[in-house]
A and B are shown apart, each in its own frame.
Chain A
Amino acid sequence: MTAVEVNHLHKSYADVTAVHDLTFSVEPGEILGLIGPNGAGKSSTIKIILDFMKPDSGDVKIFGKQMDEAFKNQIGYMPEERGLYKRLTAIDLILYLASLKGMDRAGAEKRANVLLEQTGMLENIKKKNKEMSKGMGQLIQFIITVIHDPDLIIMDEPFSGLDPVRTETIQSIIGDLRDDGKAIILSTHQMTKVEELCDRVLMINKGRTVLYGDIMESREKFRRNSVLVSVDGDLGDLPGVIEIKPGKDSVELVLAADTTPQIILDRLRERGITINQFEVKTPSLNEIFLNLMGADHA
């Protein structure tokens, strides 16, 4: 059953349209990357899914039904800006919030220990939250988000402020959760993380969908007819190449419409040029993002 179905969602604040006719879905065992510039409507979309606020029109279904209190135990949510009760210890906070997700104390303690161990936080469980660094607080928040084994996980910038080691740890756990069949919505500005982790992407701008679909297919869709080449010596004048864009370690050859990468590769070989790198260029998500948002941000 589809975990989240969003149909023709619309939300306005005074004269600002935050979400306009947004439609998408998330399946179990899938990570959907929700990306867009600041103010694109990502947070509003998440808050409508979580029933924090009502849409002006459109509807949201969680596991095939309208969102209600009964689903809250199946959802894990990690907001973008995060804080903790300063006076509570990490373990007290985790157990309290786990109890609100319907977990009994023994089960919550057991699961908390596993997650604390996985994240390297076991030795900090008795620390008060005000004594923790921002990164440590982030890990506690992450544990709170997933401790109750939710079927739907919504995370807003889960990697911000984390060092590379902790980022890797969280990334690995998120991957495991997806493999366990959890539906995950990951809102982030880190395009590389979306590429690494997500199965599909929903890119929105000014509340409207600008890109939605499988990441590889999207990159393929935005692929231009060009190759990345690194050779010893001079390339010379290559027929079928309409533009050469120098890069740091390679050059991008933009090909004419009737020229394929194979033709260029054959021509380079015919000239006896030593080829160190030859790669059909597929745009990164970041490039697609910049390309699609460029006009608005110019």
Chain B
Amino acid sequence: MHKTYLIFKHEFGQAIKRVGFIVMTLIVPVLALLAIGAYELVTTLTEPSVKDVMVIGYVDEVGIFSDHTDQGLIKLIPYPSREDATQALVQWDISEYIVIPSDYTSSGTIHRYTLAKELSTPAMIPYFIDSFLAWNLLKDEVPPEIITSIVSPLNLVVTRLDGNGEIAQEQGNIGNIIIPFIFSLLLSMAFMFGANSLISGLGEEKESRLIEVLFSSVSVRQLLIAKVLALGTAGLLQVLIWLLSAPLLLNLASASFGGFLSDIQLPANFLLLGVVYFILGYLLFAVFSVGVGGISSSATEGHTISMFYILMGFIPLWFFGALINFPDSPIWVVLSIFPITAPIQMMLRLGVSDIPSWQIVTSVGVLCLSIIAGLYISIKIFRAFMLMYGKRPGLAEIIQGLKTA
């Protein structure tokens, strides 16, 4: 136990001193702060001014659209003919113009002319034209407040209730998925860096034969368990820094960006389950990497083999678009329980679904069993092939090695 602790201490110290670890740990809060700072800077420099109000020309061939030309961000200027409007456009007096043809009231057709090469009409333009037309068409027919309602008839406010009919703690908007999604991305990167770091370390020790010196002092079990735990602890430190910095950054971000960011909520149990799945996922990828380190003849070869389970772990991210619409589909439930995909799948689903307790319990249980079985098998593989240099064993040899180790 004492030797396991000594190796743990050494490996943990080495892990957190690695440049890759420091960069990875700090890059998230630093990038977020930079993004907030950049946004503040840009918004300060580009504060909307009178000059930013868009000036649009129009030709009224019906003869009833003369009022309400100031639509806030858009100001409309009448022109007597299309030729005059075109002249103004090419001289950049206006940014575009519309023609309201004489048959508008029967056809509803409006023609828009612009110098810009665009895929589709910017969303704000039809809105303001709608408003302009409605106000002019109805100005003498109905009270202004009715016109306002006609222009903006819907302000949909959705309230999610829980099973008891009470207002639910999580209201299930886009803000709920943002943090789990970002956290899932970070988890996947952390798993990948952790696995690579372990394989590199074992590769260095195998290539330099230091592994033999170590095994003349400690057992295979002591060395590998200490390495896995040290790397897991370093990873946990990393994720705690991210999680602890999240509320602070959210406050800063919502103060700066406002909008939906102000609505961002962390799903219930997110912190607890985030830490649990992080630890279990990290340990699972680490024990796989120990096995890979045992059979690889070099660190480079180990990294190549490890891509198999690392990429498999990323599957939930690839299909995030489908997941977000049908979070409780059976396939996502299966991936929530399959140990390699479970950590990231669960994090993503937390933001969009109320995951039943049985799924969480099953998923955590399967992960725990997989880690124990993986560690047992990886130690056996490592013991069988640790002294095999320059040659990777085939599948038959691995099976034979598992029987004899």
Contact = CB atoms under 8 A, between A and B. Distances in A.
Contacts of A82: 208-209
Contact of A79 (B6, B14, B213, B404): B213
A96 B209 CA distance: 16
B219 A96 contact: no
B387 A52 contact: yes
B7 interface: yes
A77 B212 contact: yes
Interface residues of B, number: 21
A76 B210 CA distance: 13
B10 A72 contact: no
A84 B6 CA distance: 18
Given A53-B387, A86-B204, A99-B6, A79 B218 contact: no
Contact of B215 (A50, A81, A86, A99): A50
Nearest to B2: A102
B207 interface: yes
Contacts of B209: 79-83
B155 interface: no
A100 B208 contact: no
Nearest to B397: A14
A87 B197 CA distance: 14
Contacts of A100: 3, 6-7, 214, 217-218
Given A47-B387, A100-B3, A77 B216 contact: yes
Contacts, number: 58
A84 B208 contact: yes
Contacts of A72: 216-218
Sorting the interface of chain A by its residue count into under 10, 10 to 19, 20 to 34 or 35 or more gives 20 to 34
Contacts of A69: 218-219
Nearest to A86: B204
B218 A83 contact: no
B10 A101 contact: no
Interface string B1-21: 001001100100010000000
Contacts of B217: 72-73, 97, 100-101
A75 B10 contact: no
B322 to A, nearest CB: 44
Contacts of A86: 204
Interface in A177-195: none
B204 A85 contact: yes
Nearest to A83: B208
A205 B10 CA distance: 41
Contacts of B3: 100
B214 A83 contact: no
A202 interface: no
A96 B218 contact: no
B401 to A, nearest CB: 11
Contacts of B213: 77-79, 97, 141, 144
A78 B210 CA distance: 10
Contact of A85 (B210, B216, B218, B387): B210
B21 to A, nearest CB: 13
B403 to A, nearest CB: 12
Contacts of A54: 404
Nearest to B6: A99
Nearest to B212: A79
A67 to B, nearest CB: 11
Interface of A: 47, 50, 52-54, 69, 72-73, 75-87, 96-97, 99-101, 141, 144
5 contacts: A52-B387, A79-B209, A83-B208, A86-B204, A100-B217
Q: Which 10 A-B residue pairs are closest in the complex by CB-CB distance?
A: A83-B208, A77-B216, A100-B217, A79-B212, A79-B209, A81-B209, A99-B6, A96-B10, A72-B217, A101-B217
Given A97-B214, A101-B217, 17 more contacts: A47-B387, A50-B212, A50-B216, A52-B387, A72-B218, A77-B216, A78-B213, A81-B208, A81-B209, A82-B208, A82-B209, A83-B204, A97-B213, A97-B217, A99-B6, A100-B7, A144-B213
